[in-house]
């Protein structure tokens, strides 16, 4: 009788673990770092081009039926108002490619309780992005944003001419691995400015022209 009870308990525990794992795996993809950039530095084709890149990568990874938006801010231009990255990405929650919830909502995303890290900030394919100490280091992620997700302001360009420049200008970047140098080295979205907008400039400060994508719906 005791043996049967132990077998029953073990089977129940195994089944529960399997169900929990299955539940986690079925969470839809809602957040990723682009596995590749535009290849043209910070020239992403503007916000529309960046959104399209997110959508293409997500679709190719099998995430269909969701609307994707790049986590990028943009300055006011051509009679259009400034755009804040935090206002583009929906309301959450957002899960990575392995089903881990990285943030429950916009407030959580921009708080100390989010789960963004090198281990959790994965590509759409579920791969880890190189960070500080890896070769090459590609932890600089384009955002153009301040810590709270609003447009980074200052005396100079912070969005590489609203994501259309591959030469002049600069972009605010975050560190997906939450370490490195800059004014806010542990910030995922506002660590420091790039030294330029070309692919070589982005690589030179520890990046590859990658950016964050969120499912807005």
CA-nearest of 124, 143, 35, 168 to 85 is: 143
CA-nearest of 200, 205, 204, 208 to 167 is: 200
Q: Is the pLDDT of residue 37 over 90?
A: yes
Phi/psi at 177 (nearest 5 deg)? -95, 0
Position 154 scores a pLDDT of 81
Per-residue confidence band for 179, with pLDDT thresholds at 50, 70 and 90: very high
Among the residue ranges 49-53, 70-74, 89-93, 151-155, the one predicted with the least confidence is 151-155
Pick the residue with more confidence: 57 or 3? 57
Ordered by where they begin, the domains of the chain are: 28-215 (3.10.100.10)
Q: Among residues of the chain, what percentage have pLDDT more than 70?
A: 88
Per-residue confidence band for 5, with pLDDT thresholds at 50, 70 and 90: very low
Helix (H) or strand (E) holding 95: strand 94-95
Determine the average pLDDT of the residues in 128-133. 98
Position 19 scores a pLDDT of 45
Per-residue confidence band for 213, with pLDDT thresholds at 50, 70 and 90: very high
CA 186 to chain CA centroid, nearest Å = 15
Position 9 scores a pLDDT of 39
CB 115 within 8 A of CB 92: no
């Amino acid at each position: 009788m005791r043996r049967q009870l132990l077998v029953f308990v073990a089977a129940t525990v195994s089944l529960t673990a399997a169900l929990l794992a299955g539940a986690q795996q079925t969470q839809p993809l809602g957040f990723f770092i682009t596995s590749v950039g535009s290849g043209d530095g910070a020239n992403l084709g503007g916000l529309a081009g960046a959104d399209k890149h997110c959508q293409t990568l997500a679709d190719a990874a099998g995430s269909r039926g969701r609307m994707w938006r790049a986590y990028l801010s943009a300055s006011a231009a051509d009679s259009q108002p400034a755009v804040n990255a935090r206002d583009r990405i929906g309301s959450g929650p957002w899960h990575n490619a392995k089903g881990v919830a990285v943030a429950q909502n916009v407030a959580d995303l921009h708080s100390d309780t989010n789960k963004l890290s090198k281990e959790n900030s994965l590509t759409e394919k579920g791969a880890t992005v190189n960070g500080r100490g890896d070769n090459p280091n590609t932890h600089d992620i384009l955002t153009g944003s301040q810590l709270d997700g609003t447009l980074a302001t200052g005396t100079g360009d912070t969005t590489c001419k609203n994501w259309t420049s591959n030469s002049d200008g600069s972009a605010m970047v975050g560190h997906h691995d939450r370490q490195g140098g800059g004014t806010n080295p542990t910030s995922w979205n506002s660590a420091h400015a790039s030294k330029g907008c070309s692919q070589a400039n982005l690589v030179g400060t520890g990046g590859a022209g990658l950016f964050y994508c969120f499912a807005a719906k």
